[in-house]
Chain A
Amino acid sequence: MTTSTVTAQAPAKASGKAAAPGPDRLRRRRRLAQWGFVAPAVVFMLLFFGYPLVRNVVMSFQHYTPETFFTGEAPFNGADNWSNVFQDALFSKALWHTLVFTAGSLLGQFCIGLALAVFFTRRFPLGGVLRSLILLPWLVPMVVSGIVWRRILDQDTGVLNSFLDALGLGGHTPWLTSPGMALLSVILVNIWIGIPFNMVILYGGLQEIPKELYEAASLDGASAWRTFRSITLPMLRPVITVVLVLGFMSTVKILDLILALTDGGPADATQTLGTLTYQNSFVQLDFGAGAVVGNVLILVSAVFAVLYLRANRTEGK
């Protein structure tokens, strides 16, 4: 993502500098001091991410039951958990929902976020104020957003349906109560939550594009759309990569929003890998199965990240 340019130049600088003083011991001491900067973060990440990750992988091969909490014994059971999970009809359903949810959310968040970011690069009265106010939804804890939206989307008493009714647009949409609609509604809410994040970062990226490029384009008489396609998008590519990769990783594992809105229902229509991990582990108390689903979740993220970064790199060249 952001590594290639840096690592290429940094070692050269470091070695050029090291040549001057001389003795090996001095150099080693300095290396050690330099590692001192990085080590705390590495240790922290190993403890808070590496250890849970490894433990989760091990757990997915264990027969982990409520009894385990007392005895501490969780016998290895080969691939039993894995085959059980894969045979569960709910799993493939949840996997599909996860992909739809993630793709839909990202598409919506990104397009609207980008449109708003471009919009706010214009100079107009109160622009700055409006731009910062639009970040507000982001500040609301997700549990809270879920609660509020659940009320707004209620089929009979929700304000959205009352509003549609007043406009003569029906107003009996079963947002969260029909299996056909629920996933879409959850995606819409998640788009709402994600717009500010996308907008902030993309706006930052837009600010960085040299103004001269646009001036040159307008002198050439390029249309707004052409300018956007041939200047804005290419210049924005690194930022877009960051937004999409981070967005994917946080969206794919979402749990609390769905629990607050639908609890995975109705009829499992909004069950995702995230909610399935939760359900297996904390409702069924089958921690082995929960760990399997958690691992699949991580795997999906990893595959996406690798594919995307690779595609982006080759295209960028």
Chain B
Amino acid sequence: MASPTPTTSRRRWGSTLAGALILCVMLFPLYWMLNTALQPASGLLQVDPVPGSLDLSGFSKALDDQGGHLLTSLVVSLGAVAICLAIAAPAAYGLARFGLRGSRTIVFGTLITQMVPGIVIANALYNSYVDLGLVNSYFGLMLADASLGIPFSIVLMRSFMVSIPGEVIEAAQMDGAGPVRTFVRVVLPMSRNALITSGLFAFLFSWSDFMFALTLNTTDDVKPVTLGIYQYIGAHVGDWGSVMAASVLSAVPAAILLVLAQKYIAAGITGGSVK
């Protein structure tokens, strides 16, 4: 490729500038969150546009109070991702490849699941959870949170797996590999992008879950950070510095994950939605 002429180079940097402007507008609320968090002493009502000095006391308090809940969120979300992928990936493969009678109905069913409001699900689940001893347990919350990602992951991965060339799979079968082996050895590695994308979505859904955490727990044993922040703004607390600091902290793990997974996402979704 030829090196860019001065005009196109200027135009490119113009695009960068425009992109940066858009970013500023989009990220302003997050900046404001951080800004408020850094001015815990100001009494929320007169927040300066830029923090005058670096006051981290809001953060240290938030970390003290919410550190454990962040960890809980992390464990629960990772667990939910594992469950979600373990259930959704085989199903996606089965629906994409086996031509089972009723496949269409099942795929349509995944669509219907998206229509049921979370509050309806949480309400119904509680009693079954009590009978199964899943209330106040990590595993119970992981299962419930996994339900947020499963339908989406099935649809996404199924479309991706449809596009895997049939010859590759047939070749594996010729070599005498059974369906399980073919799936693990051939299909999964080829679907890496879709797997990562689904996993990321599942993580995000679970990370921001509030409804299940609220309804499926009766004690403080399993308290993710969304619930922690909600309780933070109780009737008597006016400590907005710490609340905002906790909010910032709640976004950090997800942000790290996003940066790490970024390059797989576009590819994962492309295969997913087009076919």
State whether the Cβ of A45 lies closer than 8 Å to any Cβ in chain B. Answer: yes
B residues within 8 Å of A by Cβ?
A: 12-13, 15-16, 18-20, 22-23, 26-27, 29-30, 32-33, 36, 44-47, 49, 87-88, 90-91, 93-100, 103-104, 106-121, 123-125, 128, 143-144, 146-147, 150-152, 154-155, 158-159, 162, 166, 170, 173, 178-180, 183, 204, 207-208, 210-211, 225-226, 229-230, 233, 240, 243-244, 247, 250-251, 254-255, 258-259, 262, 265-270, 272-275
Contact B230 A33 (CB under 8 A): no
Contact B125 A48 (CB under 8 A): yes
Contact A127 B19 (CB under 8 A): yes
Q: Which of the residues A41, A136, A246, A301 comes within 8 Å of B255, measured between beta carbons?
A: A136
Contact B119 A277 (CB under 8 A): yes
Q: Which of the residues A40, A203, A278 comes within 8 Å of B266, measured between beta carbons?
A: A203
State whether the Cβ of A233 lies closer than 8 Å to any Cβ in chain B. Answer: no
Please judge, given known A-B contacts A37-B179, A44-B147, whether A140 and B119 are in contact too, CB under 8 Å: no
Instruction: Give bound CA distance, A49 to B121, whole Å.
Output: 7
A 133-172 binary contact with B (CB < 8 Å = 1; else 0): 1111111111111011101100001010000000000000
30 chain-A/chain-B pairs, Cβ below 8 angstroms: A2-B158, A5-B162, A6-B275, A11-B99, A33-B179, A38-B94, A40-B87, A41-B87, A48-B150, A52-B120, A56-B116, A119-B18, A122-B12, A126-B20, A137-B29, A140-B30, A141-B208, A148-B32, A151-B32, A159-B47, A201-B269, A204-B272, A253-B117, A274-B117, A278-B119, A281-B119, A281-B123, A287-B123, A294-B120, A297-B117
Main secondary structure of the interface of B (DSSP, over half): helix
Contact B162 A205 (CB under 8 A): no
* Chain B residue with the shortest CB-CB distance to A11: B99
Contact B16 A151 (CB under 8 A): no
Interface segment out of the listed A101-109, A176-184, A237-245: A237-245
Contact A302 B112 (CB under 8 A): yes
Instruction: Give bound CA distance, A151 to B44, whole Å.
Output: 9
* Chain B residue with the shortest CB-CB distance to A1: B111
Contact A139 B258 (CB under 8 A): yes
Q: Which residues of B lie under 8 Å from residue A122 when comparing CB positions?
A: 12, 15
In the complex, how many angstroms separate the beta carbon of A186 from the nearest chain B beta carbon? 14
Contact A13 B166 (CB under 8 A): yes
Contact B274 A253 (CB under 8 A): no
* Chain B residue with the shortest CB-CB distance to A122: B15
Instruction: Give bound CA distance, A30 to B173, whole Å.
Output: 13
A 257-287 binary contact with B (CB < 8 Å = 1; else 0): 0000000000000000010011001000001
Instruction: Give bound CA distance, A255 to B107, whole Å.
Output: 26
Q: Which residues of A lie under 8 Å from residue B22 when comparing CB positions?
A: 116, 119, 130, 134
Contact B32 A34 (CB under 8 A): no
Q: Which residues of B lie under 8 Å from residue A141 when comparing CB positions?
A: 207-208, 210, 225-226, 229, 250
Please judge, given known A-B contacts A55-B124, A281-B123, whether A204 and B269 are in contact too, CB under 8 Å: yes
Contact B274 A133 (CB under 8 A): no
Q: Which residues of A lie under 8 Å from residue B125 when comparing CB positions?
A: 48, 52
State whether the Cβ of A123 lies closer than 8 Å to any Cβ in chain B. Answer: yes
Contact B119 A130 (CB under 8 A): no
State whether the Cβ of A90 lies closer than 8 Å to any Cβ in chain B. Answer: no
Q: Which residues of B lie under 8 Å from residue A7 when comparing CB positions?
A: 99, 103-104
Contact B119 A294 (CB under 8 A): yes
* B-facing residues in A1-21 (Cβ within 8 Å): 1-3, 5-7, 10-14, 17
* Chain A residue with the shortest CB-CB distance to B262: A132
Instruction: Give bound CA distance, A246 to B151, whole Å.
Output: 11
Contact B147 A48 (CB under 8 A): yes
Q: Which of the residues B12, B87, B124, B211 comes within 8 Å of A44, measured between beta carbons?
A: B87
Contact A52 B116 (CB under 8 A): yes
Q: Which residues of A lie under 8 Å from residue B268 when comparing CB positions?
A: 204
Q: Which of the residues A14, A49, A132 comes within 8 Å of B98, measured between beta carbons?
A: A14
Q: Which residues of B lie under 8 Å from residue A221 when comparing CB positions?
A: none
Q: Which of the residues A12, A33, A253, A302 comes within 8 Å of B118, measured between beta carbons?
A: A253
State whether the Cβ of A51 lies closer than 8 Å to any Cβ in chain B. Answer: yes
Q: Which of the residues A130, A277, A301 comes within 8 Å of B23, measured between beta carbons?
A: A130
Q: Which of the residues A42, A145, A200 comes within 8 Å of B106, measured between beta carbons?
A: A42
Please judge, given known A-B contacts A6-B162, A34-B100, A147-B247, whether A205 and B113 are in contact too, CB under 8 Å: no
Contact A192 B26 (CB under 8 A): yes
Q: Which of the residues A6, A125, A278 comes within 8 Å of B96, measured between beta carbons?
A: A6
Interface pairs A-B: 3 shortest CB-CB: A41-B91, A37-B94, A204-B269
In the complex, how many angstroms separate the beta carbon of B236 from the nearest chain A beta carbon? 16
Contact A249 B250 (CB under 8 A): no
**What 11 additional pairs, Cβ within 8 angstroms, besides A48-B147, A130-B22, A298-B115?**
A42-B91, A42-B109, A124-B15, A130-B20, A148-B32, A148-B33, A148-B244, A148-B247, A152-B29, A159-B47, A192-B26
